[in-house]
């Protein structure tokens, strides 16, 4: 939400998800990076129970309710692991998992 990535990296993204954060209010000096990324084709999705200030700028608004966010991300992880590790081995994904995640310790 606010402690992970440098906001300027949003410009280099192709897909951005905002969850539990109203960037217009919490990251006011940085929110322009979202607008700039969108002009370059980045897809922007907001997970929020209310149609907030940031939701009006997104490509897709998913009005989740309390407790649904965990189920949504578990489903997303299931699809990613199934498509890039179980159904077909993608070398880039396998190397990324080994080098940059703790996934091998969780299995």
**Are residues 84 and 57 part of one domain?**
no
pLDDT of 4 strictly over 70:
no
Residue 107 lies in a domain: no
Full domain range(s) for residue 55:
1-64
pLDDT of residue 3: 57
Q: Is the pTM of this model over 0.85?
A: no
* Six-digit token string for 5: 């990535």
> Please, what is the average pLDDT of the chain?
85
3-class secondary structure, 65: coil
First-residue to last-residue Cα distance in the chain: 26
Each residue of 10-39: pLDDT tens digit?
Answer: 888 899 998 878 888 888 888 888 889 999
* Mean local confidence (pLDDT), 63-75: 87
Q: What CATH number does residue 58 fall under?
A: 3.40.228.10
* Six-digit token string for 50: 């209310």
> Which strands form 15-19's sheet, in the order they lie side by side?
15-19, 43-47, 60-62
> In total, how many domains does the chain have?
2
| Paired strand residues for 63 | none
CA–CA dist 91, 51 (Å, integer): 39
Each residue of 79-101: pLDDT tens digit?
Answer: 988 988 888 888 888 898 888 88
């Amino acid at each position: 939400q606010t402690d992970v990535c440098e906001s300027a990296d949003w410009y280099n993204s192709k897909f951005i998800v905002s969850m539990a954060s109203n960037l217009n209010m919490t990251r006011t000096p940085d929110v322009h990076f979202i607008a700039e990324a969108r002009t370059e084709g980045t897809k922007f999705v907001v997970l929020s129970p209310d149609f907030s200030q940031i939701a009006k700028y997104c490509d897709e608004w998913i009005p989740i309710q309390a407790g649904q966010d965990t189920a949504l991300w578990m489903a997303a992880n299931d699809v990613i692991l199934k498509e890039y590790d179980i159904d077909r081995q993608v070398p880039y994904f396998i190397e990324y998992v080994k080098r940059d995640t703790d996934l091998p310790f969780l299995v």
